[in-house]
Amino acid sequence: MKKSKVRVRFAPSPTGMMHLGNVRTALMNYIFAKQKNGISVLRIEDTDPERNFDPGAKHIIKDLQWLDLHYDEGPSVRDTSTQGPFKPYFQSKRLEIYQEKLNILIKNKQVYRCFCTQEELEKKRQRQIALKMPPRYDRTCLDLSDDEIQKKLDSNIPFIWRVKLDHKSKITINDIAHKNITFDLKNFSDFPITRQNGTFTFMFANFVDDMVMKISHVLRGEDHLSNTAGQVALYKTFNATIPTFWHMPILCNLDGKKLSKRDFGFSLNDLKNAGYLPEAICNYLAIIGGSFEKEIMSLDELSKAINFDHLHAKGQIKYDVEKLRWVNHKWIDRYDSKKLYEACLPYLQDLHEEIKKIPEKKLEQIIQIIKTDLITLNDIKKTLEPYFIEPEIKQSDLIKISDKKTVDTVSQIIQENIKNIENSNIFLSKLKSMSKQEGISIKALFSIVRIGLMGSAKGPGISELIEILGTDKTKKRIEKLLETINKTN
């Protein structure tokens, strides 16, 4: 199918591990491109080598692979070579392009040199704040004469290039959620587009890449809204087509504070290590803040369900770990036995020695039976443990289920039928029949039996437990249950 003119990009900086804000930006760009039959681009903003935590963006690429978010253009999955018509896709390798665009601005007198030091700028900023004025650059260097500029250059005084904004004009952008947003440029500073060492700022490099790569829609966080006025002013200086924007709400914790490292799940690695599935993470981040009749959806389903024409403008949305846990539980239930077994394997390495003796198919079957008790893959440890370690049964646990008389009656029923344990169907049929005669509820009966088998009143069906444990182990545990009950009589 022919691709549309829609082009979006995910442009992370490799200065740290991927966090949920990054993931949501990557996800929504991917879904938007998929829905519009467009092109998704991965571009690495690595112009700050001192802060680069992930050289070559290898962790970023692996994380996107794990999340199943595949882009059409960008660094190769196998190495750091580039693919696509607008290569290279690393900003550190695009400096000539930025310099070329800067030269055009210099030629057209749309930028000027600023020789102010950081100390001078900070002093002016503090003074403006003290006078209750908005802190903005006061254009000290705008009107320097050619002779003054040359003297400073001859003296090797460092400088940066600033964009000369037209403070008499206003700029309007189209934002998918906010609709039309108008910026009055008199409220904005002449922002820097280079640093004193000659490198280019995020504001400028980001704009140039979006313009050159023909990005039609810029989907990014609400925290970038303040950058937009200056970048759109640059589009106008180059007479370039201004993209449509969507400034997405910021992820916050339940207290309304911006999500940070202190919040569990802020880092994608936190969630991976805790046993959350990639499908669940994407599913949750796509529906958060919205309203959907059906909430558990794959990427394909999400790309059909999200209506980008009716987005509501929100400054923030709250990240709820409990809702994420629910979504993850639902996705575990969706996995077939083979896929779930493979996903659980890394979490079984340090489990009971006996697990290593179980044939793969048998273990796969066991996991499929108990998956209803798994919220995250990490739960596999505590969920499987009772199958290998005989539970400690307390009389108090039994009394919680029912009164002592009922427990004693259940004990008698089991005692009379334990001889049938070799055939689980007959054994369970006899238990049900006799409990009905004695006026004992099936729920109470099976809860007591389940406590004897695995130490918990909740869990898989009794027939499934017998199948997992085997006849010998089942009989041994039931006999121990009867001993516990009889000790108090």
Instruction: Report pLDDT digits (tens) over 363-398.
Output: 898 899 899 999 999 999 888 888 888 888 877 778
Model confidence at 3, pLDDT cuts 50, 70, 90, reads low
64: Cα within 13 Å, side-chain hemisphere: 29
Of residues 219 and 261, which shows the higher confidence score?
219
Distances (CA, A) of 460 to 383, 392, 433, 446: 11, 19, 21, 10
What is the pLDDT at residue 410? 87
CB atoms within 10 A of CB 60: 22
Model confidence at 2, pLDDT cuts 50, 70, 90, reads very low
Q: Are 111 and 163 within 8 A, CB to CB?
A: yes
CA torsion through residues 367, 372, 376, 379, sign: negative
Average pLDDT estimate for 97-112: 97
Domain 94-248 homologous superfamily, CATH: HUPs (3.40.50.620)
What is the pLDDT at residue 315? 73
Average pLDDT estimate for 126-151: 93
How many angstroms separate the first and last alpha carbons of the chain?
76
Does 116 have pLDDT greater than 90? Answer: yes
Q: pLDDT tens, 29-38? A: 999 999 999 9
Q: List, in order, residues 6 or more apart from 55 with CB less than 8 Å away.
A: 14
Of residues 259 and 137, which shows the higher confidence score?
137
Phi, psi of 136 (to 5 degrees): -140, 155
Q: Please name the fold of domain 7-92+251-318.
A: Rossmann fold (3.40.50)
Count Cβ neighbours within 10 Å for each residue of 314-350 and write b for 16 or more, e otherwise.
eeebbbebeebbbbbbebbeebeeeebbebbeebbee
Average pLDDT estimate for 136-152: 95
Model confidence at 299, pLDDT cuts 50, 70, 90, reads very high
Does 79 have pLDDT greater than 60? Answer: no
Does 270 have pLDDT greater than 70? Answer: yes
Q: Are 202 and 226 within 8 A, CB to CB?
A: no
Backbone Cα Rg of the chain: 32
Model confidence at 76, pLDDT cuts 50, 70, 90, reads low
In three state form, how does the secondary structure of 231-249 look?
Answer: HHHHHHHCCCCCCEEEEEC
The 8-class DSSP code of residue 402 comes to: S
Average per-residue pLDDT for the chain: 90
Asked if omega into 55 is within 30° of 0 (cis), the reply is: no
Count Cβ neighbours within 10 Å for each residue of 115-139 and write b for 16 or more, e otherwise.
bbeeeeeeebeeeeeeeeeeeebbe
Model confidence at 47, pLDDT cuts 50, 70, 90, reads confident
What is the pLDDT at residue 17? 81
For tokens 């008199």, the residue is 186
Phi, psi of 393 (to 5 degrees): -100, 130
Distance CA 122, CA 93 (A): 32
User: What CATH number matches the domain at 395-487, 1.10.3720.10, 3.40.50.300, 3.10.20.30, 1.10.10.350?
Assistant: 1.10.10.350
Q: Are 434 and 417 within 8 A, CB to CB?
A: yes
Q: Where are the domains of the chain?
A: 7-92+251-318, 94-248, 335-387, 395-487
The 8-class DSSP code of residue 308 comes to: G
DSSP string, 442-483: HHHHHHHHHHHHHS-SSSS-HHHHHHHH-HHHHHHHHHHHHH
> Is there a common fold for 7-92+251-318 and 94-248?
yes
Q: pLDDT tens, 426-470? A: 999 989 999 899 888 888 889 889 989 988 888 888 898 888 888
Q: Which amino acid is at 82?
A: T
What is the pLDDT at residue 15? 78
Q: Are 44 and 94 within 8 A, CB to CB?
A: no
Q: pLDDT tens, 210-251? A: 999 999 999 999 989 888 999 999 999 999 999 999 999 999
**Helix, strand or coil for residue 252?**
strand
What is the pLDDT at residue 185? 95
Does 300 have pLDDT greater than 60? Answer: yes
What is the pLDDT at residue 1? 45
Q: Which amino acid is at 33?
A: A
CA torsion through residues 451, 456, 457, 458, sign: negative
Global pTM value: 0.89
Distance CA 193, CA 231 (A): 10
Q: Are 47 and 205 within 8 A, CB to CB?
A: yes
CB atoms within 10 A of CB 181: 17
What is the pLDDT at residue 153? 96
- The length of the chain is 489
Does 61 have pLDDT greater than 80? Answer: yes
